[in-house]
Structure 1
Amino acid sequence: MHHAADIFITTASGRRWYLLDPRPSDVHFRDIASHLAKICRFVGATGPFYSVAQHSLFVAAQLPPSQRAYGLLHDAHEAYLADISSPFKAALRALGGGEALAALVSRADAAIHEAAGLQWPPPADVAEAVHQADLRAFATEWRDVGPSPNEPAPVPCRPLGNRIRPQPWPKAEEAFVEELRIHLPATLRSVA
């Protein structure tokens, strides 16, 4: 039997992230930016490399300024837990493992948002706005960088008009950090 203190990952900066007991003091926003910039969307099934960091920036850009921090951080837990596809999550639920994954995601999200000074869970209207922006991003990404661009995206919305230009991970990381500086200035201490 493992104790919570024994189950951790080591982040890009060498810090520990305790999967069962994540704490706001363990959140380092530069790690989040670095990890998300190096994780490919669609579990790697893209034409060009397209990162979760760039996806998060795309979601945030669709929101009013007061909600952009939530859009930016909507997938921040993936920095510690990886980008787990929706079909994989559905398979876990079918096999009885969905609650465990949901608990890990919830714990990570709570610690990250507390470190950012954001309410968790977000207000219902903010959560819905982020969800809709995420769906539009998915539809657009499916068309522009996804695994089956000739098939309609498996979401109930249409892609946005502008085409996505994938960024190399270093540019996506820096753009993510810059958005943190704009929308979460209190995080500057941990983005150095």
Structure 2
Amino acid sequence: MNKDRPLESIYMHTSSGMKYYPFAPQSEHVDAEVIAHHLATRARWNGATQHVNYPDRIFYSVAEHSVYVALYLEAIMRRPDLALMGLLHDASEAYNGDLIRPLKYSAEFAEPFKKVELLNEAAVGKRFQFPAELPPEVKIADEAVCAAELRQIVPKHPSEEWDSGKMHDEERVAPFEIEMLLPFEAKKLFLSHFERLTMHRRVAA
């Protein structure tokens, strides 16, 4: 392996069997089914999840989280026009992964990652015709779903004090039951909402 090759020439494997270049992403290479597949197999909360009623449910995907964000925008915030952005707000993670929040909020640690993330976010935005910066309502919906996840599926030992150092906004809590679907089911759910929302966009246009 030639480690001296330009980063722009280095590819990653995708679930479609096609190459993708995370250091030089092209919008035409962004694929909704690849996004759904990769997000359905990527764990939220760095895997620190457990369903309160079902001991065998320990995996919670970014794909399922993204569906709840889209639903919150539609049903709670009454912004169906932003729902597709909500569904795809973490789409770049399919290509560049993610950092857990303590690391992401360290400027020194996150700086090189952020450069790559911005490249891939731009490619996703161009592919789906999103603005360069997502509306603040998407972040509000994201935080509301995070708050629901914290209350339902993230274990918190009673001996620990949880307010100091907290990096999540719990002002709003999404009124959804977190199901913790298996990856294949999460992928199907994500794609069904993607198809519905893109159809709604075409009709509205």
Relative to the length of structure 2, the TM-score reads: 0.80
Partner of 2:36: 33
Mapping 1:64-143, distance limit 5 Å: 64-91=79-106, 93=107, 96-122=108-134, 127-143=135-151
Partner of 2:182: 168
Q: Shift of the alpha carbon at 1:23?
A: 0.3
- Shift in CA distance, 114/133, structure 1 to aligned 2, threshold 3 Å: same
Equivalent position SS for 2:146:
helix
Matched, 1:155 2:165: no
Task: Work out which of the two has the higher radius of gyration on C-alpha atoms and give 1 or 2.
Answer: 2
What is the one-letter code of the residue matched to 2:85?
A: Y
The structure 1 residue matched to 2:154, chosen from 138, 146, 169, is: 146
Is 2:103–2:110's contact at 8 Å kept on the other side of the alignment? no
Work out the number of aligned pairs and report it: 180
Equivalent position SS for 2:59:
coil
Deviations along 1:57-87, whole A, 9 cap, x unmatched? 1111111210011101111111112232111
Task: Give unmatched runs, 5+ long, in structure 1.
Answer: 188-192
Is 1:116–1:184's contact at 8 Å kept on the other side of the alignment? no
Question: Higher helix proportion, which one?
Answer: 1
- Shift in CA distance, 185/104, structure 1 to aligned 2, threshold 3 Å: farther
Relative to the length of structure 1, the TM-score reads: 0.85
The structure 1 residue matched to 2:66, chosen from 21, 43, 56, is: 56
What is the one-letter code of the residue matched to 1:106?
A: L
Deviations along 1:131-155, whole A, 9 cap, x unmatched? 1111111111011111427656742
Task: Give unmatched runs, 5+ long, in structure 2.
Answer: 51-57, 74-78
> Which whole-Å CA distance do the structure 2 matches of 1:161 and 1:131 have between them?
16
Q: Shift of the alpha carbon at 1:119?
A: 2.4
Equivalent position SS for 2:132:
coil
Partner of 2:6: 3
What is the one-letter code of the residue matched to 1:143?
A: R
- Shift in CA distance, 149/137, structure 1 to aligned 2, threshold 3 Å: farther
- Shift in CA distance, 65/149, structure 1 to aligned 2, threshold 3 Å: farther
- Shift in CA distance, 114/84, structure 1 to aligned 2, threshold 3 Å: same
- Shift in CA distance, 62/160, structure 1 to aligned 2, threshold 3 Å: closer
Instruction: State which drifts further: 3-12 or 171-180.
Output: 3-12
What is the one-letter code of the residue matched to 2:125?
A: H
Is 1:37–1:170's contact at 8 Å kept on the other side of the alignment? yes
